[in-house]
Structure 1
Amino acid sequence: MPFYVSPEQQMKDKADYARKGIARGRSVVVLQYDDGILFVADNPSRALHKISEIYDRIAFAAVGKYNEFENLRLGGVRYADINGYQYDRRDVTARGLANVYAQSLGTIFTETNKPYEVELVVAEVGEDAETDQIYRLTFDGSVADEHGYVAMGGQTESVAQALKDGYEEGASLEVALRTAVRALEAQDSDRRLEAKSLEVAVLDRNREHRLFRRLPARRIEELLAAGDGGSAGGSAGSSGGSSAGPSVEDVDDVLGDGKD
């Protein structure tokens, strides 16, 4: 006798499976700061990135199964390169990329036996904070237009609550980074995240052309130390960070992103 499962139960089982897989991963937070958008991941690996550049003003962050979100990242890079070449670079937007990802994830979720165990953020930095775009995509292709901050993966509720309590609109990079790290640490009160355990990148609206910049461990340590040193030290560190050019490590990381 054939075994029957209702479509509703099948969709529920798939959703539960994907949520459990995503929850097992380490968290990523994305939040706006005064000069752009900050990405912070609990990720000690220097090779398997959760945060990457997609195009000039667009970046990508993900949690879940690496091979699955890496396939999506590469597809996004191809989409951006082809459309930027055929039309105009200004025609490549986070909204368009989010729509492409939503269609792919929705099709995979409904038409295959195993859904992708991933959650994504596609962000585009604008001329000012009002024109920044942050889109969150879930495993079933749902899209949410987010403002201020986003938390994904791990114990999402505790991370999101910590972000809600600590987030300051228009904060400096130092303050925003410290807020993000405290939110990630909220999952385990005994754990303290060090620079070498973090993957940090920014979309900096003050840069020219490619606005994505990956921060090396040394720079992360400086920002965290400035944030701990008080508001005056944080402000000084912020202005120094925005006026100085990227280090050799920054340039090497940027040139390696999104072009595999």
Structure 2
Amino acid sequence: MTTPFYVSPQQAMADRADYARKGIARGRSVVVLTYADGILFVAENPSRALHKMSEIYDRIAFAAVGKYNEFENLRIGGVRYADIRGYSYARHDVTARGLANVYAQTLGTIFSSGGEKPYEVELIVAEVGSTPADDQIYRLTYDGSIADEQHYVAMGGNADQITEQLKRSHREGLPLDEALRVAVDVLSRDGSGEKRTITAAQLEVAVLDRTRSQKRKFKRVVGAQLARLLGESASGAADAAAEGGNGADGDGGSGAAGETSEE
């Protein structure tokens, strides 16, 4: 009888963490930062069908990088949790902190289980408050760890370099157009600092806007509004959108261009 190959628990966890980190790093980055009237979400994503950021509840939004099918399952679960809790108790009982705790338990259980691979995802759960001081941004990693972020956060791709650039560029109380330009500027720089051009057609942008009169504060920024905020001409943005939407640079059925099933 052969002796089973032994792997220490520490080595097994290290291998699982390395596997998840490599999968996440292949995806394009997402930047979340505060601005004067709320929280801004920006990602390089040419697909118009597969979103990296979505509404969860009235004041709460979700952003993710990694395997699309995995974080989409988590998003759907979060929407169900929020709907059930809001219906069972009250709408103000649905909070980003509560949702982040639910996601942390799910990701932690999957990561520590030997029966399935870890999720190759990182998540952000954000809630816009009545004032800037009440805004909340939580970052969750593949192993269920939670970080309470202040003012800005980046994940996926070259997130460390982007975070360093945000530290230098971001300041509290930025108007929306300036905050968007800061986000696009840091996303357009590669690991060596070289800058490339990112057009409106290549971006997915959304906000949690505390000034909206509706209970639902989530809003996607698209089309002419996005072009105007970026300083692009409306006709140029329309031409770029037409080129980006012809399927050549889309996600196909599983992810953004060049990333197979990673988002």
Identity over the aligned pairs, expressed in percent?
67
CA distance in 1, matches of 2:189, 2:106: 33
Partner amino acid for 1:123? A
CA distance in 2, matches of 1:81, 1:215: 25
The structure 2 residue matched to 1:158, chosen from 158, 161, 165, is 161
Deviation at 1:196, TM superposition (A): 0.4
CA distance in 2, matches of 1:158, 1:178: 17
Q: Which has the higher helix share?
A: 1
CA distance in 2, matches of 1:191, 1:115: 33
CA distance in 1, matches of 2:126, 2:32: 9
**Counterpart for residue 60 of structure 1:** 62
**Counterpart for residue 172 of structure 2:** 169
**Superposition pairs of residues 74-223 of structure 1, within 5 angstroms:** 74-111=76-113, 112-187=115-190, 189-207=194-212, 208-223=214-229
**Counterpart for residue 71 of structure 1:** 73
**Counterpart for residue 235 of structure 1:** none
CA distance in 2, matches of 1:136, 1:218: 31
CA distance in 1, matches of 2:230, 2:195: 18
The structure 2 residue matched to 1:46, chosen from 24, 45, 48, is 48
Greater than 6 Å deviation, 4+ residue runs: none
CA distance in 1, matches of 2:173, 2:224: 24
1:157-214: CA deviations, max 9, x gaps?
A: 1111111111011100001000000110122624211000000000000012100000
**Superposition pairs of residues 243-258 of structure 1, within 5 angstroms:** none
- Is 2:52 the counterpart of 1:37? no
Partner amino acid for 1:13? D
Partner amino acid for 1:151? A
Q: CA RMSD in A?
A: 1.0
More moved, 107-116 vs 136-145: 107-116
Partner amino acid for 1:176? A
User: 8 Å contact 2:189–2:195 — kept in the other structure?
Assistant: no
Q: TM-score, normalised by structure 2?
A: 0.84
CA distance in 1, matches of 2:159, 2:30: 9
Partner amino acid for 2:18? D
Q: Which has the higher contact order (CA 8 A, sep 6+)?
A: 2
The unaligned stretches of length 5 or more in structure 2 are 233-263
Deviation at 1:108, TM superposition (A): 0.2
CA distance in 1, matches of 2:81, 2:62: 13
CA distance in 1, matches of 2:167, 2:188: 14
User: 8 Å contact 1:27–1:63 — kept in the other structure?
Assistant: yes
Equivalenced residues, count:
226
User: 8 Å contact 1:31–1:37 — kept in the other structure?
Assistant: yes
Secondary structure of 1:5 counterpart: coil
**Counterpart for residue 254 of structure 1:** none
**Counterpart for residue 17 of structure 2:** 15
User: 8 Å contact 1:162–1:182 — kept in the other structure?
Assistant: no
User: 8 Å contact 1:162–1:186 — kept in the other structure?
Assistant: no
CA distance in 1, matches of 2:184, 2:210: 22
